Amino acid sequence: MLNLEHVASFLAVLRTQSFRAAAHERALSQATVSQHIQKLEAALNTCLIERSHSGCSPTPTGIALLPYAESLMHVNARALNLSCHRAISIGASSNIGIYLLQPYVKSFLAKTDGQYPVEIVIHQNPAIADKLECGEIDVATMEWWDDRPGYITRPWRQEKLVVIVAPDHPWAKLPEVPRAMLRDVPFLGGEPGTGTGRLLVHHMGEAMRGVQVSMQLGSTEAVKRWVQAGLGVSIVLSSTVVEECRAGTLLAVPLEGAPISKTLYVIWRATLSHDSLPLRLAKWLLDHNTAAANT
């Protein structure tokens, strides 16, 4: 079992790149910090920190340990604060956190007079799933869920998928985009791990399998800027381009055939008590649509 004091010293050394500075930060002697690192390395049977004249840096194993160490300290702090009035922590995948969640949280805070602070964690879908499993967040809002046991999942919203193009793109005047045409243009990919690619293959079959992603840009915001620049087309959630379509800087064109929608989910641990604050927030999300959230 890892000693959290040793883990805290490991993180301090990495933050400060110095045993002396880490000792000062933790109000410990340098010898004590050094012993903490030695014991942590012994527990893991590996070297975690490289020492040099220019400072301290993590080994490859130290880099791999870093997110786990940070998670351990975060969960420890949350556990210690259980008896205190603490914030409800909600994790959101990037698209949800950037484009959808704000009115819900705003209305929840207004309804409860701000007496229950809400902490927001925005990250890629796989990271949010991991943070929920590790106890770093209380509730997750995601674009997919993998049905791992011990959690309750509820559908939250249906979001239509649309093709986005620049206003001067040849497709801008089309009433809908034939699916086969997606194979003939540069296609821009966004954030990995959203599940959109799997959904499109499920609905479009071979028409989507022939699409070649010319660039993987990492986020919907980046995709929108590159599409505006005329460097390709993409498929995104319709709610992520509302402002651009209103301003005329992008056009959203439906795909040929029946509309394709993505289900967004609210997830929480099955062990939450029925009267817990996190479950209260989860039910608020489920019970209030966007219109209600904005009132």
124-135: pLDDT as tens digits: 999 999 989 888
CATH for 153: 3.40.190.10
For the record, the structure tokens of 142 come out as 């995601």
pLDDT value for 180:
86
Specify whether 193 is located in the same domain as 226: yes
Specify whether 268 is located in the same domain as 200: no
CB 129 within 8 A of CB 93: no
Q: How far apart are CA 12 and CA 107, in angstroms?
A: 38
Give one DSSP letter per residue of 6-24, joined into a string.
HHHHHHHHHHHT-HHHHHH
How many CA atoms lie less than 13 Å away from 225 in the CB half-sphere? 6
Specify whether 257 is located in the same domain as 267: no
pLDDT value for 49:
93
Specify whether 49 is located in the same domain as 100: no
pLDDT value for 290:
45
Domain boundary among 60, 79, 98: 79
Specify whether 137 is located in the same domain as 268: yes
Specify whether 166 is located in the same domain as 256: yes
Range of the domain at 277: 88-157+263-293
Phi and psi (nearest 5°) for 137? -130, 160
- Taking the CA atoms of 294, 260, 97 and 248 in sequence, report the sign of the dihedral they define: negative
Specify whether 280 is located in the same domain as 252: no
Specify whether 117 is located in the same domain as 233: no
pLDDT tens, the chain, 295 aa long:
889 899 999 999 999 999 999 999 888 899 999 999 999 999 999 999 998 888 899 999 999 999 889 888 888 877 766 655 567 899 999 999 999 999 999 999 998 887 888 999 999 999 999 989 888 899 999 999 988 889 999 999 999 999 999 999 999 999 999 988 988 899 999 988 888 888 888 887 776 777 888 899 999 999 999 999 999 999 999 999 999 999 999 999 999 888 899 999 999 999 888 888 889 899 999 998 644 444 4
CA angle, 138 then 141 then 145, to 5°: 100
CB 235 within 8 A of CB 188: no
Specify whether 185 is located in the same domain as 232: yes
Question: Measuring CA to CA, which residue among 279, 290, 293, 288 is closest to residue 140?
Answer: 279
Residue identified by tokens 């699409």 is 211
Domain boundary among 79, 108, 130: 79
Strands in the chain per DSSP E: 49-52, 55-58, 88-93, 118-123, 139-142, 151-165, 187-189, 213-216, 234-237, 251-253, 261-269
CB 13 within 8 A of CB 56: yes
Specify whether 240 is located in the same domain as 180: yes
pLDDT value for 86:
67
Number of domains in the chain: 3
Specify whether 144 is located in the same domain as 280: yes
Specify whether 238 is located in the same domain as 248: yes
pTM: 0.74
For the record, the structure tokens of 41 come out as 């390395």
CATH for 18: 1.10.10.10
